Structure formats: C-alpha cells, structure tokens
Chains A and B, each alone.
Chain A
C-alpha cells in the first residue's frame, strides 16, 4: 500500500472514530448548556 493510500485510510478511520465519540458527546453538552441557561433567566 502506498503512503498516500495509507494516509487516506487513516483519515477515514480518524473521522469515523472521532465522530463515533464526538457526536454523542456534543449532543449531551448542548442539552446541558440549554438547561443551564435557566440559571441566568
């Protein structure tokens, strides 16, 4: 496998892996911030 191919594979894997953990976490954080805003209303 060429270096370019290996680099491309890694990019796809990295996007998938970080998306897998990042998307649910971001969703949870947004939900929390929306609830927290009630403190200052």
Chain B
C-alpha cells in the first residue's frame, strides 16, 4: 500500500471489532502536541539572549546601511516585542487555516489531515531551529508561525467530526476529551522545554535550536502515531445498544447543512458571538492573571505563588473542557452555555468584592470556576454545531467558527490591558485597577447570554437535500 493510499479516507474505515475508545487517544496525540502553542512563551527569554547569553545584547543595527557600526558591530538580540509575533502569527494562521482548509479536512478524512498537521507542526519547529542557528527571525515567523500555524489549524479540527461520528451517544464528552488535550498540552510542553534547554545549554550557548529540533521530532512522531491509530466508522455503524431517539429534540437535527450554507444562517453567527464573547472574557484576564493576583493582594501573593495560581487556572481550564462538554450531553448545549454566561457574570462581578474584603480564597475560587467554563466553551462548541448543522460538515463549520477565537484573542487582551492602564493613569490604585474590567467582562457575558437565548433550530431550507446540493453550492 502506497503512502497516499494509506492516507486515503477509504483505507481509514475501521474493521469490525475495532474499539471506538482508541479514537480519543488518537485525537489526544494531536491535541497534546499542538497545544504546546500555549507554552511557547517559555522560549521568549532564551530567544532574547541568543547572542548575549546572560543578557540581551544590544550592539548595533546591522541592517541599517546608514550607520558605520552596522558593518563592524555584532547583531542585536531580538526584542520581546518582536518575539511576541511568533505566537501571534501562529494563532492567526491557526484560525485562518482551520477556516480555509476545513472542507479539505472533512472530505479527505482525519488521517490525511493529522498526517499533514504532523509534518507542518513538527516541520515548523525544525525550520525555526534553522532560524535560531542563523539568527534570522523571519525564518522563525515562517517556520513556527506560518507552517506550524497550518499544523495547528489542521490538527485542531481534524479529529472533531470523527469523534462525533464514533460517539453519537456522547458527542460532547468525546470532543471534550480531545480539546481537553489542547488545554493540557502546556503542562507537558513547559517543563519539557525547560528541561531540554537545560540539557543543551552551555556557558556560551543557550540551546534553543537543539531544543526546537528535539521537540519538532518528538511532536512529529507523536502526531504520526495518532494518524496511524485513527479510524472512521463504517457507513451506518452505531455503538452496541445505541438507539437514536425516535423523537428528535428541538435543537438537535438529524439533517446536514453544507459548510458554506451554514455560514448563511443566523445560528452560525449567533454561536460565533457566543464563543467569541465567552473567550474574550477569559483570554484577556488569562494574560493578566499573575499580575492581577499580585496587585489585588499585595504582600500576600508572591511571584512564585502567582505562577502557581496561573498553573491552577490552566488546570481548571483543562478539566472544565472535559467536565462541561460531558455535562452538555446530559443538560443540552444551550443550557450549558446559559450556565457559562449566568454563572460567569456573577463570578466576574464578585471579583472586585473579593479584592475589597481581602478574601483570597473567594478570589481564587471565582477564577477557577470561571476558567473551567472558559475551557468548557471551547470543548462544547463542536457538539453545539453538530446539533444545529448535523455531522456531515461539522469539522469544516467548526473550522470557520475558530475565527471567533482569533477575534477574541485580539479583543480580550486589548480590552483588559487598555482599561487597566486608563484606570492607573486616572489615579486609581493598582489594587482596584481591575474592578471596571471585571464589570465590563460581566457585561460581555450578559450579551453572550442574549445571543445564546436567540438561537433556534436551523430552518429546513438550509438542509442538504442530496449531493447535487453540494455541487450546486460549489
């Protein structure tokens, strides 16, 4: 069997006796790798000291032909602001490639997509290692940012519809397991990166290039294993003992909506805002959590304790993905999002009170529950899409929905950072500078609640009638 035929969708169909419980670990092989993106910041400081080793070197500007020193001086180390673009490009390309390549993923099957994701994500690290060795930042933008970003996008959506098809009885739990891996990947990547850099570093060398090579190869192999394990169920397969409900629920369709037709429905855009607002409220605070805990509880929360707080938030972000997505199978997707928005509004509004009365436990509790719902929002949304638009193109539709995450990635941090700075500039003490932000976040969640309330079943005119509908839509 040739490689191309091995990757083919029809060679991915499971034989009788294949256990569907092998599919979640296959999906986790992908998500536990690509979620490394959340831990990329551990490379920022070492990358800013490649030349200076112990401190960032600032010797001159070799690219400026107007300066004599350009010819003679050693090059500068990269600034943190320049390095920040690596992650930003990666996340932007994640959203873009998930949207653009979603249909390719859906029609070619999960193995081809996972295989390509492995090559892109692992290859992105290898190309970046060249960029580090040559001290050319644009090569890292190209490697980790652009090519790795395509791996991120393809990898993120590739197992979604496969899991939903294998677990028609528990689609929320199944996709929750995979997306939990994305949230948990930083727990592995962060200590692994630090350990590898320590192994490869010398008094005259930071060891980032070798770490990139090692991580690229480890991730590529891990993701390829996932692509080998994964299978799709045979046409008409159902889990033993599973009987589809005779009377479908009002918000769960057994029909299918074509990917580009779904984009024309109000339901898609309402869910887009539901995700965007839920993520905006969380992502902005996530970036400031360490500083916020120290500034709201000065003297009580040290830098080390604040790092522990961020770790705890990440843990609840991960666990919430599995818990809330599984819960949505029991109480329904719409009710799950009602919980996120109602409870989230109350908890955000409670944070300033926790700060004012100096109750650290209440402060921590508010954030842990809030961030379990932030993760839950990501993990529940594929099943919400499946309920509204059917299983046929759910992966591709999910790909387009990921743009809501990209948008939130811009709105959230900007909102939190600018409001905080405005408050401090207006003379508000640092300990209270986050109060207005928390109330604004609570307000965003109220809007999300209303968007969720407006979601109704998709009108039947959007349903696929037969395959000609696809051809016509193309």
For the complex, give the distance between the alpha carbons of A25 and B186 in Å. 9
Say whether B308 contacts A38, CB under 8 Å: yes
> Can you list 7 A-B contacts (CB < 8 A)?
A10-B17, A14-B22, A21-B181, A29-B318, A32-B311, A39-B305, A39-B306
B89 in the interface, Cβ–Cβ < 8 Å?
A: no
Count how many chain A residues have C-beta atoms less than 8 Å from C-beta atoms of the other chain: 24
Q: CB distance B312 to A29 under 8 Å?
A: no
Most A CB contacts (10 A, CB to CB) among B191, B301, B308, B314 go to B308
| Other-chain contact of B187, A18, A29, A38, A41 (Cβ < 8 Å) | A29
**With contacts A20-B225, A27-B188 known, what are 18 further pairs, Cβ within 8 A?**
A10-B22, A14-B19, A14-B21, A17-B22, A17-B25, A21-B29, A21-B32, A24-B32, A25-B188, A28-B184, A29-B184, A32-B187, A33-B311, A35-B311, A36-B309, A39-B308, A39-B312, A39-B364
What is the CB-to-nearest-CB distance from A22 to chain B, in angstroms, rounded to a whole number?
8
The reply to whether B22 and A25 form a contact with Cβ atoms under 8 Å apart is no
Distance between B247 CB and nearest chain A CB, rounded to angstroms: 34
* Residues of B bordering A, CB below 8 Å: 17-19, 21-22, 25-26, 28-29, 32, 181, 184, 186-188, 190-191, 222, 225, 229, 301-302, 304-309, 311-312, 314-315, 318, 364
CB pair B25–A6 under 8 Å, yes or no, is no
Q: Which of A28, A37, A38, A41 has the most CB of B within 10 A?
A: A28
Which residues of chain B are within 8 angstroms of A28 by Cβ–Cβ distance?
184, 186-188, 190-191
Distance to closest chain B CB from A17 (angstroms) = 4
- Rounded to whole angstroms, the CA-CA distance of A32 and B319 in the bound complex is 13
Q: How far is the CA of A21 from the CA of B25 in the complex (A)?
A: 6
4 residue pairs, one from A and one from B, having the closest CB atoms: A28-B187, A17-B25, A36-B308, A21-B28
Chain A residues 1 to 25 lying within 8 A of chain B, measured CB to CB, are 1, 3, 6, 10, 13-14, 17-18, 20-21, 24-25
Docked CA distance A7–B225 (Å): 22
The one of A6, A14, A39 in contact with B309, judged by C-beta atoms closer than 8 angstroms, is A39
Flag if B311 contacts A36 (CB, 8 Å).
Answer: yes
In angstroms, Cα B304 to Cα A37, docked, is 10
| Pairwise interchain contact A6-B17, C-beta atoms closer than 8 A | yes
The chain B residue sitting closest to A25, CB to CB, is B184
Q: How near does chain A come to B398, taking the closest CB pair, in angstroms?
A: 21
**Are A38 and B304 closer than 8 Å at their CB atoms?**
yes
